Homo-oligomer: A and B are copies of this chain.
Amino acid sequence: MQTLTVELGDRSYPIYIGSGVLTRENLLLPYISGQQVLIVSNDVVAPLYLEKLQSTLTGKHCDVIVLPDGEHTKTLETLNLIFDQLLRNRHERGTTVIALGGGVTGDMAGFAAAVYQRGVNFIQIPTTLLSQVDSSVGGKTGVNHALGKNMIGAFYQPQCVLADIDVLSTLPLRELQAGLAEVIKYGLLGNAAFFEWLESNMDALLARDADKLAYAVRICCEEKARIVAADEKEGGLRALLNLGHTFGHAIEAAMGYGTWLHGEAVAAGMVMAADLSCRLGWLGSADAARARALIERTGLPVAPPAMMTPHQFMELMSVDKKVQSGRIRFVLMKSIGHAVIESDIPPALLEQTLSAGNSLCC
């Protein structure tokens, strides 16, 4: 087991990464100050891991809410089901909400914890690769609105995070791949050596080699923890984590949340970002091709949905949270491992990227 600390002053917290951390006795208990616990899980993860988790919570009063899985459920309405459960079972301010599931579960449970009685304790147990490397680090919580993804939420830090590598063995391949999209993102945005490591080890990761997965999760959490510690509320640096997300969020919104997995949309979005970076003369065409090739080898999409028009992209991107004074801010690449934020993009180049379809980065 490895332990990382996300350094955020009095809101600092540890991330425990390794095989079997979910069922390790006495790892979780010190982070639960009261007697009450609500486990928020989903109907895919709960049958696999809920009992194991409960068996470690000796002496606590444990309530459970199992939600339907999927990005389309990440709404205020579903959030209200969590509040119903907390209130019906008389959970007090001293309660602890534990998220057992992927990013959707963690985002909703975390936001519920942030606003229930104006804030109760929260623990993240991410069960997908994507949530282990991304959404469980950094305290972003929230739900979607029909007019935009993650538009309603809070910055809210957990007491601790358990990233159990063993649970990735039951992850559907498509979700493993979606998680690897975010893993690749960390290489592209700030760590060229890690990108090269991924080029050498993608087959082992797809074959779920536990040691390789644990290494990848640790590097990604380190990268993210470093960025979040420097910029908790996304004043600047943290926006780099949105590489591929401006395009990706538009894809998710256009297709209906959950049709494309978040990681799949980010994968296509990163290829679009590489393509646009290349057209701007920043990223060499060989590096753009490397980015596309690694994403393609991972089995991820390298083009947006054929049905999406440039106009639709522009409409959807203009409601993104990253818009400032009406200008869309893009995260682009100067080279592999060096991302930058830019909002001053020649419209003609953007139009070319939005219309490139299957010939991105070619």
**Contact in complex: A319, B90 (CB < 8 Å):** yes
Contacts of A155 in B (CB 8 A): 118-119
Distance from A59 Cβ to chain B, minimum over Cβ atoms (Å): 14
Find residues 15-54 in chain A having any chain B CB closer than 8 Å to their own CB: 34-35
A118 cross-chain contacts in B, Cβ below 8 A = 140, 142, 153-155, 233, 321
Residues on the B chain within 8 Å of A173, using CB: none
Residues of B within 8 A of A84 (CB): 145, 147
Q: What is the interface of chain A mostly: helix, strand, loop, or mixed?
A: mixed
Q: 1/0 per position for A287-319, CB-CB distance to B under 8 A?
A: 000000000000000000000000000000011
A362 at interface, CB cutoff 8 A: no
* Neighbouring B residues of A142 by C-beta, 8 Å: 115, 118
The answer to whether A92 touches B324, judged by C-beta atoms less than 8 angstroms apart, is: yes
Report yes or no: A115 in contact with B83, Cβ–Cβ below 8 A: no
Q: Kindly provide the distance from the CB of A16 to the nearest chain B CB, expressed in whole angstroms.
A: 26
In the complex, per-residue mask of A182-213: 1 if CB is within 8 Å of any chain B CB, else 0: 00000000000000000000000000000000
- A359 part of interface (Cβ distance < 8 Å): no
* Complex partner residue of A119 from B115, B119, B154, B326, CB under 8 angstroms: B154
Query: For the complex, what is the distance from the CA of A118 to the CA of B84, rounded to whole Å?
Result: 23
CA distance A145 to B79 in the complex (A): 12
Taking CB atoms, residues of chain B closer than 8 Å to A35 are: 325
Given A76-B76, A83-B152, answer yes or no on A117-B321 (Cβ-Cβ < 8 Å). Answer: yes
Tell me whether B147 and A88 are in contact (CB under 8 A). yes
Q: Is A80 an interface residue (CB 8 A)?
A: yes
A151 — which chain B residues lie within 8 A by C-beta? Answer: 83, 87, 116-117
Q: Which residues of B contact A80 (CB under 8 A)?
A: 76, 145
Knowing A152-B83, A321-B93 touch, does A115 contact B115 (C-beta < 8 A)?
A: yes
Contact with B along A90-130 (1 / 0, CB 8 A): 10111000000000000000010011111100000000000
Contact call B323/A92, Cβ cutoff below 8 A: yes
Taking the closest CB of chain B, its distance from the CB of A250, in whole angstroms, is: 14
A62-101 at interface with B (beta carbon < 8 Å):
76, 79-80, 83-84, 87-88, 90, 92-94
Given contact pairs A111-B115, A118-B140, a sample of 8 additional A-B residue pairs in the complex whose CB atoms are under 8 Å apart: A76-B79, A90-B319, A92-B324, A92-B326, A117-B153, A118-B154, A119-B154, A154-B154
Name A residues whose Cβ lies closer than 8 Å to a Cβ of B: 34-35, 76, 79-80, 83-84, 87-88, 90, 92-94, 111, 114-119, 140, 142, 145, 147-148, 151-155, 233, 318-319, 321, 323-326
A sample of 24 inter-chain contacts (CB < 8 A) reads: A35-B325, A76-B80, A87-B151, A87-B319, A88-B147, A92-B321, A92-B323, A92-B325, A93-B321, A94-B324, A94-B325, A111-B115, A114-B154, A115-B115, A115-B152, A115-B153, A115-B154, A117-B151, A117-B153, A117-B321, A118-B233, A118-B321, A119-B155, A154-B154
